[in-house]
Chains A and B, each alone.
Chain A
Amino acid sequence: METFADLTSLGSVVLIFISAAFTDNILLTRFLGMCSVLGVSKKVDPSMGLGAAVIFVTTCTAGLNHLVHAYLLAPLGLEYLRLITFIVVIAAFVQFVEMVVERVSEGLYNALGIFLPLITVNCAILGVSLFMLGTPYSLLQTLAYGAGAGTGWAFAITVIGGIREKVNEQALPRGLAGPGITLIIIGIMSLAFVGFSGMIRV
């Protein structure tokens, strides 16, 4: 926290983005959003699709929930309701986005259509909204944090998808195929991400 005090606003935004994406990667250091990773990360393409959707949704919902918290929950003294409130806001927002996408671009709707409902119940999204409260961010910083966390998650699932494409699951022992090998891949990757820890303190 004290790291930001002497930074300009823009500098802090960049820093928060990078730290959220790498040192504090929500998938590889917090192990959130795992269910959709196990389900979708078989190939790079859908992984990137889901990743893009997550970036968009984390950024927007982080901003929305920041406002809800600052102007609704905090003044009313109902901060203890943040978890359930955030879930409801996220769900409504995703529904809304789904509608807009459906109307505006059917192609995009069919590409993202299956992912958007998945995202509603993605714990990574809720995690971002809850973690951002740990630090007194401004709205701009919150958006950077949301975008960073989403980017980090998208980056991780894309890399996992790439690795799983190369892994010949047929050659694996039966019990290891699918989720087993994916969890091992994630474990090894998160070991690598330990290397980032402490570089930036959020």
Chain B
Amino acid sequence: MLVSIFSAAAFLAILTLILAAALLFAEHRILNYGPCTLDINDGGKTLVVTGGSSLLSSLAEKDVFIPSACGGRGSCAYCKVRVLEGGGVIGPVEESYLSPEDLKNQVRLSCQVKVRQDIRLAIPEELFLAKRFRGFLERKRMLTYDIVELRIVLREPQRIEFAAGQYIQLESEEYAGHDAVMRAYSISSPPSDDGHVEVIIRKIPEGICTTWVFDHLQEGREIFFSGPYGDFQLTETKAPAVFIAGGSGMAPIWSILREMLQRGDKRQAMYFFSGRTKDDLFFTEELFALEKELPDFRYIPCLTREPEDSDWKGERGRIPKVLPRFIADAAGFEAYLCGSTSLIDACVAALKQAGINESNIFYDKFE
């Protein structure tokens, strides 16, 4: 009995080993495409890689990190790049993720494009600067009933260089039947604190990543993210700035304001923050303290649903209503908005009515 069990196991083990070895050997011999050249952004960067693996992993090998949450299985569709030449035929896996516009722009999923020949591709410049970071969750604290702040201490690389206003892509882990996903969150810590990254996350009911953050992520846990990305940042001008945010849209503004303090930025600044009731406000003391620390700064929280009989002495009503009373003529102002689509659209309309130059409106919409 024992002998037959043993011989069966040994036979199967040997058979699978031999077959696996044969396959590996065959893969090495058959699917060896030799060195291939990747020409990125028309000669902007040229990489020589060994053909045979996916474009995504070939680029990662050379430290060009394209966002990807699913690990190259072709299910998250974050790793889109423009492949101008040498990408081969579009396979059935990526076909379903490419819109007609993508097809027109020669956009491909880099995890599904195999490097078989020299490839010409175009990727946004910022991806050259983006890296993948490994860190640990140092602190997790609730800022309001539905907003949490994560403070991540960086381990590898140990420093991050970014502009206040940029965002990272946080990677959630697999849990309870949900795949790992990647979600963008603005950095709320100032660039001077380059050993840490803080993000502010609002709970989205049924949200895969936020549920992971709120219910599963614990202090001390290992965390991965990539970044920095994005071009939402303060301009180099001296123009007066109006900041508008709601909910977790606080994050980039909070980073920008503290950066202004550090740099001794003297421009005039106003910050309108939207909330329903007092419970939606956070960093209130810190922001009012900034009014004294910055040369010309005002913090104006606006509450839309605060009960009439409460002791709230601040503004009541939506920002588009409140704003004209503070800024009668917005010409010459620069506006920085971060929050939900509806908040931004309404505020942009109000700003335009106040006479702001449209090219001076910068925003970061939460889809």
Give CA–CA (A114, B91) in the complex, Å: 9
B176 proximal to A (CB < 8 A): no
A10 proximal to B (CB < 8 A): no
Quick check: A92 and B11 within 8 Å, CB to CB? no
Quick check: B23 and A106 within 8 Å, CB to CB? no
Quick check: B8 and A96 within 8 Å, CB to CB? no
For residue A160, give the distance in angstroms from its CB to the closest CB of chain B. Answer: 21
Quick check: B26 and A102 within 8 Å, CB to CB? no
For residue B108, give the distance in angstroms from its CB to the closest CB of chain A. Answer: 14
Contact with A along B5-18 (1 / 0, CB 8 A): 00110011001100
B88 proximal to A (CB < 8 A): yes
Near B by CB (< 8 A), chain A positions 97-124 give 99-100, 102-103, 106-107, 110, 113-114
B1 proximal to A (CB < 8 A): no
Contact with B along A38-61 (1 / 0, CB 8 A): 000000000000000000000000
Quick check: A81 and B92 within 8 Å, CB to CB? no
Quick check: B19 and A78 within 8 Å, CB to CB? no
For residue B34, give the distance in angstroms from its CB to the closest CB of chain A. Answer: 12
Which residues of chain A have C-beta atoms less than 8 A from B89's C-beta?
106-107, 110
A194 proximal to B (CB < 8 A): no
Give CA–CA (A110, B90) in the complex, Å: 8
Which residues of chain B have C-beta atoms less than 8 A from A113's C-beta?
91-92
User: Residues of A within 8 Å of B, CB-based: how many?
Assistant: 20
A9 proximal to B (CB < 8 A): no
Contacting residue for B11 out of A78, A96, A106, CB 8 A: A78
Give CA–CA (A102, B16) in the complex, Å: 23
Quick check: A99 and B31 within 8 Å, CB to CB? yes
Near B by CB (< 8 A), chain A positions 58-86 give 76, 78, 80-81, 84-85
What residue in chain B is nearest A110 (Cβ atoms)? B89
Quick check: A84 and B12 within 8 Å, CB to CB? yes
Known: A92-B22, A110-B91, A113-B91. A102 touches B15 (CB 8 A): no
Which residues of chain A have C-beta atoms less than 8 A from B22's C-beta?
92, 96
Known: A99-B30, A102-B31, A110-B89. A88 touches B16 (CB 8 A): yes
Which residues of chain B have C-beta atoms less than 8 A from A106's C-beta?
88-89, 116
B194 proximal to A (CB < 8 A): no
Contacting residue for B12 out of A85, A95, A96, A114, CB 8 A: A85
Q: How large is the interface on B (under 10, 10 to 19, 20 to 34, 35 or more residues)?
A: 20 to 34
Near A by CB (< 8 A), chain B positions 210-267 give none
Quick check: A81 and B11 within 8 Å, CB to CB? yes
Give CA–CA (A99, B23) in the complex, Å: 9
What residue in chain B is nearest A46 (Cβ atoms)? B92
Which residues of chain A have C-beta atoms less than 8 A from B88's C-beta?
106
For residue B2, give the distance in angstroms from its CB to the closest CB of chain A. Answer: 15
A133 proximal to B (CB < 8 A): no
For residue A105, give the distance in angstroms from its CB to the closest CB of chain B. Answer: 11
A89 proximal to B (CB < 8 A): yes
Known: A78-B7, A92-B19, A114-B92. A99 touches B12 (CB 8 A): no
Known: A103-B30, A103-B31, A110-B91. A81 touches B23 (CB 8 A): no
Quick check: A78 and B16 within 8 Å, CB to CB? no
Quick check: B23 and A92 within 8 Å, CB to CB? yes
For residue B143, give the distance in angstroms from its CB to the closest CB of chain A. Answer: 47
Known: A81-B8, A102-B31. A95 touches B15 (CB 8 A): no
Near A by CB (< 8 A), chain B positions 17-35 give 19-20, 22-23, 26-27, 30-31
What residue in chain B is nearest A84 (Cβ atoms)? B12
Give CA–CA (A100, B26) in the complex, Å: 9
Quick check: B27 and A99 within 8 Å, CB to CB? yes
Give CA–CA (A49, B93) in the complex, Å: 17
Give CA–CA (A99, B7) in the complex, Å: 32
- Kindly list the 4 A-B residue pairs having the minimum CB-CB distance in the complex, ordered from nearest: A92-B19, A110-B89, A114-B92, A99-B30
20 A-B contact pairs sorted by A residue (CB < 8 Å): A76-B11, A81-B8, A85-B12, A85-B15, A88-B16, A88-B19, A92-B22, A95-B23, A99-B30, A99-B31, A100-B30, A102-B30, A103-B30, A103-B31, A106-B88, A110-B89, A110-B92, A113-B91, A114-B91, A114-B93
Given A89-B19, A103-B31, 8 more pairs with CB closer than 8 A: A80-B8, A81-B11, A81-B12, A84-B12, A85-B11, A88-B16, A106-B89, A113-B92
